[in-house]
Amino acid sequence: MNELEIFKALSNQTRLQILQWLREPEKHFPPQGHSFTEVGGCVGQIQQKCGLTQSTVSEYLALLQRVGLITATRMGQWTYYKRNDEAFEALGKFVQSTL
Amino acid sequence: MNELEIFKALSNQTRLQILQWLREPEKHFPPQGHSFTEVGGCVGQIQQKCGLTQSTVSEYLALLQRVGLITATRMGQWTYYKRNDEAFEALGKFVQSTL
DNA sequence: AAGATATATCGGTTTTTCCCGATATACCAA
DNA sequence: TTGGTATATCGGGAAAAACCGATATATCTT
């Protein structure tokens, strides 16, 4: 867990927003073929809610994945991104007891 | 608590380091006239350990204070900065249960 | 008041981040 | 294979952050 890189990833309003959507994907995205709790939400749906371009959102998601905050699952032509609960748990502990 | 601004403040290796020093100032700074647990550490001592210029460190500390992570106490010609425990507690909870 | 010390603020250069359009890649369907 | 859709990557202009030196302010000492 690279805390500095994680905090950089969290230093953007849109990315914070995305993470909060992915916390409860069933409340924020329209019904889809795959289980929200299994795979999360896909790039296209996230992009629509952001209002930013596809390339920007794709890069944001790749960044969040690179630092370990979310995980990716490719299913056919879709990539689903899901919140990584353990990472947030660990980061919360780090903030409280190390930082 | 503005989480975005807090994460921006945490997106810098030196500032992370400073916060970890201020977590246990008695272990990281030489003996001083005032109680570490009361007031924390002063700018000059922090600057020496950083290796950055006085102006940069002063700005970093002002930034950390602005977002609420540390508090300042002016005593004579010295300003002491101290970790704000409640802020880290709240941020850790936010990371785990909201983000 | 004058000089010394500690900290804060200001102006500017360099580096990094934001966000885009264009294009590439991957997968699917006919 | 050809075309359509979803996502990823690349190159770059604009905005923000990093960090500095110079200077201002505040406080102490004499």
CA distance A20 to chain B (A): 5
Q: List CB-based contacts (under 7 A) with strand C.
A: A 8, 11-12, 14, 52-56, 59, 74, 76-77; B 42-44, 47, 54-55, 58-59, 61-62, 72, 77-79
Put residue A68 in one of left, alpha, beta given phi > 0 → left and psi -120 to 50 → alpha.
left
pLDDT score of A33 more than 90: no
Q: What are phi and psi of B72, to 5 degrees?
A: -115, 145
Using pLDDT thresholds of 50, 70 and 90, give the confidence band for residue B38: confident
Is position B35 within any domain?
Answer: yes
Is position A63 within any domain?
Answer: yes
Domain with B71 in it = 3-84
Report d(CA A87, CA B96) in Å as an integer.
9
For residue B74, the model assigns a pLDDT of 95
Report d(CA B24, CA B18) in Å as an integer.
10
Q: Half-sphere exposure (CA, 13 Å, Cβ side) for B66?
A: 12
Per-residue pLDDT of B64-99, as tens digits, reads 999 999 999 999 999 999 999 999 999 999 999 999
The nucleotide closest to A45 (CA, C1' atoms): D6
CA distance A12 to chain B (A): 7
A16–B4 CB contact, under 8 Å? yes
Q: What are phi and psi of A24, to 5 degrees?
A: -135, 70
Is position A99 within any domain?
Answer: no
pLDDT score of A2 more than 90: yes
Q: What is the DSSP code (8-state) at residue B92?
A: H
Q: What is the DSSP code (8-state) at residue A83?
A: E
Report d(CA A64, CA A6) in Å as an integer.
8
Is position A85 within any domain?
Answer: yes
A88–B95 CB contact, under 8 Å? yes
Question: Count of domains in chain A?
Answer: 1
Helix (H, G, I), strand (E, B) or coil at A71: strand
Nearest CB to A7: which of B10, B98, B99? B10
- Residues with Cβ < 8 Å from B68, sequence gap 6 or more? B1, B6, B84, B87
B11–A12 CB contact, under 8 Å? no
Using pLDDT thresholds of 50, 70 and 90, give the confidence band for residue A75: very high
Q: What is the mean pLDDT of chain A?
A: 96
Report d(CA A21, CA A8) in Å as an integer.
19
Is position B92 within any domain?
Answer: no
Which stretches does DSSP call E strand in chain B? 41-42, 70-75, 78-83
Is position B93 within any domain?
Answer: no
Long-range contacts of A22-30 (CB under 8 A, 24+ apart): A22/A46, A22/A70, A22/A81, A22/A82, A22/A83, A23/A83, A23/B98, A23/B99, A25/A82
Report d(CA B40, CA B78) in Å as an integer.
11
Q: What is the mean pLDDT of chain B?
A: 96
Note the CA–C1' distance, A75 to D5, in angstroms: 14
Domain of B46: which CATH number? Answer: 1.10.10.10
What are the respective helix, strand and coil percentages of chain B, to the nearest 5? 60, 15, 25
Is position B40 within any domain?
Answer: yes
A16–B8 CB contact, under 8 Å? no
Interface A-B, measured as beta-carbon pairs within 8 A, has a size of: 58
- Residues with Cβ < 8 Å from B31, sequence gap 6 or more? none
